[in-house]
Structure 1
Amino acid sequence: MITLRLGAIFPHNEIGAAPEAIKTWATAVEDLGYHHIMAFDHVLGAGTRNRPGWRGYTSADAFHEIFILFGYLAAVTTSTELVTGVLVLPQRQTALVAKQAAEVDVLSKGRLRLGVGVGWNDVEYEALGQDFTTRGRRAEEQVEVLRALWATPEVTFEGRWHSIQDAGINPRPVRGSIPVWFGGHSEATLQRVGRLGDGWLPLVKPGPQAKDMLRRVHEAAQQAGRDPHTIGIEAKVSLSTGSMEDQLSFVDGWRELGATHVTVETHGMGLTLREHVALLQETAKTFQRHGDR
């Protein structure tokens, strides 16, 4: 049985703004043996007064700025991987993302994994001065620029959306690069994962649909001359729905499809800090017993 790397999702909306609470949660996660911490990314929440029927996060939902949060987590943890799940890449300036990500990687001694996606909230794109309609195509060029800036002291790049003339970031990542995983399950995303991604963050249940999506990822990888089995897969399981038996079945389903990571989600359950930690402790023990069978 494949040993999955187990992670925990940072409870943005419930943990509050106290640094002590964030430190307590993060160090508890590390002490419990979780391999990684995943955090979501939203810069702005939409006000609902003039948006009847709005679905999704709003201005009332709290989100810590992801790179600054990870800078803090890098200081209060020692071994836990830090994962953006996902950074809405096309609504951000690419060179600035390269700089911020490299800094987190340096401060954490090489513990950053960058999960990226194109997002769904046009309100954020508008406020940040970015084009919502070209976000998928821009994301591909962005990843190319990120990798160039991480790998080389000086970069010259001319693309459709980027122009860099003999410039670079310093410091650069510890490993000379940072793993880039793509989140989502649209056809365009599956093609990007296969051609460009170090991994995939799917948002579907294991089963025939997921198996077919994975087949398309592998085909895209082979067409790009890549070994599809080098592409990681990370499933996300919510502890707010179903029984523990259902959740273990979900994990086993993804394990059979070749998943390398699984992340458990407690945020959104209305728990206190103590309750979040207690549930993560119980879950870690249950998953370990299940994996050792």
Structure 2
Amino acid sequence: MRIGVVFPQTEIGPDAGAVRAYGQGVEELGYRHLMVYDHVVGADPAVHQGWQGPYNIETTFHEPMVLFGYLAALTSLELVTAIIILPQRQTALVAKQAAEVDLLSAGRFRLGVGLWNPVEYEALGQDFTTRGRRIEEQVELMRRLWTEPSVTFDGTYDRVTGAGLAPLPVQRPIPVWFGAQSPAAYRRAGRLADGWFPQMSPGPKLDEAKAMIDEAAAQAGRDPSKLGMEGRVNWTGDAEELDDLAGRWRESGATHISINTMKAGLRSVDEHLSALETAAETLALRKH
């Protein structure tokens, strides 16, 4: 089971030096990958009455692809989006950006994709109501763009006529993982994904979700055992609790986990790294 960290998007701030210190510090502690959340714009609760999202216009978010271009030169970590909100973006442009990150990181890139809120879709000129159908078509097109020098594609939402990416990525195709938290999303992940990010802890709900994904994969002629699964462990300051949850994820079949230090009351990069050092020492006892 590979162990990484969740980049503290909402707490690390705009200082490039802090970003560099965090990325390099995480690598020195022995973590294998860095997971980054994505939001292009935040909603203003004063305008969007009744806004229930966890983030708003005051929440800081570095743009993942640009951030990864920076970190690819500074670390040897695997770089993971979890998730890029794919249907609000132009498909060919995401494929190009992903290919570039994959090249700059020497193939250390995983593209996590998913869906989000209508405020961002409007700002980016895309239709929120077609997001589920569109993401399926987008994944098909991106995989062709990553593996074929010339692509002709006539879909419902995208059209490409005799065009291709150059250079192609190192990984052909780049692994695509799905965020999933509904039966429809589980079935989609089973049919199309290389792996998935559960939105719950190990237990009956995870077992039910995994069963739906495995069934969908088998019905699509895929081997369910080949799908990755990345769990998330929130840091609470209790190393024993972290150790126990990491073990439960391993028993549940997780191929990866990420340690999340956001919303733990940590006020600086040094405090985040100190917590991750304790976590690394604890998890090293399990010899992952």
TM-score when normalising by structure 2 = 0.96
Equivalent position of 2:244 in the other structure = 249
Equivalent position of 1:210 in the other structure = 206
| CA distance in structure 1 between the partners assigned to 2:158 and 2:243 by the alignment | 44
Equivalent position of 2:156 in the other structure = 160
Q: 262, 267, 270: which is aligned to 2:262?
A: 267
Q: 23, 27, 31: which is aligned to 1:26?
A: 23
1:65 aligns with 2:63: yes
Residue type matched to 1:254 in 2?
W
2:242–2:279 contact (8 Å) kept in structure 1: no
| CA distance in structure 2 between the partners assigned to 1:265 and 1:227 by the alignment | 30
Equivalent position of 2:227 in the other structure = 231
Q: Which runs of 5+ in 1 are unaligned?
A: none
2:222 counterpart SS class: coil
| CA distance in structure 2 between the partners assigned to 1:292 and 1:167 by the alignment | 47
1:10–1:38 contact (8 Å) kept in structure 2: yes
Q: 266, 272, 276: which is aligned to 1:280?
A: 276
2:5–2:35 contact (8 Å) kept in structure 1: yes
| CA distance in structure 1 between the partners assigned to 2:64 and 2:280 by the alignment | 25
Identical counterparts, % of pairs: 52
- 1:51 offset after TM fit, Å? 2.8
| CA distance in structure 2 between the partners assigned to 1:124 and 1:270 by the alignment | 28
| CA distance in structure 2 between the partners assigned to 1:8 and 1:53 by the alignment | 32
1:116–1:180 contact (8 Å) kept in structure 2: yes
- 1:193 offset after TM fit, Å? 1.4
Equivalent residues in 2 for 1:185-224 (5 A)? 185-224=181-220
Residue type matched to 2:256 in 1?
H
Equivalent position of 1:15 in the other structure = 12
Q: 100, 105, 109: which is aligned to 2:97?
A: 100
List per-residue Cα deviations over 1:58-87 (Å, max 9, x = no partner). 00000001100000000111x210000100
2:95–2:142 contact (8 Å) kept in structure 1: yes
Once the two structures are overlaid, the 10-residue window that deviates more, 29-38 or 14-23, is: 14-23
Moved over 4 A (4+): none
| CA distance in structure 2 between the partners assigned to 1:172 and 1:162 by the alignment | 20
TM-score when normalising by structure 1 = 0.94
| CA distance in structure 1 between the partners assigned to 2:183 and 2:239 by the alignment | 31
- 1:135 offset after TM fit, Å? 0.3
| CA distance in structure 2 between the partners assigned to 1:278 and 1:84 by the alignment | 24
List per-residue Cα deviations over 1:152-174 (Å, max 9, x = no partner). 11100111111110001111111
Residue type matched to 2:125 in 1?
G
1:14–1:270 contact (8 Å) kept in structure 2: no
- 1:189 offset after TM fit, Å? 1.2
- 1:270 offset after TM fit, Å? 3.7
List per-residue Cα deviations over 1:69-114 (Å, max 9, x = no partner). 000000111x210000100000100000000000011111111100
1:133 counterpart SS class: helix
2:57 counterpart SS class: coil
2:38–2:63 contact (8 Å) kept in structure 1: yes
| CA distance in structure 2 between the partners assigned to 1:193 and 1:51 by the alignment | 31
- 1:201 offset after TM fit, Å? 0.4
Q: How many residues align?
A: 286
- 1:181 offset after TM fit, Å? 0.4
| CA distance in structure 1 between the partners assigned to 2:287 and 2:85 by the alignment | 36
Equivalent residues in 2 for 1:74-223 (5 A)? 74-77=72-75, 79-119=76-116, 121-223=117-219
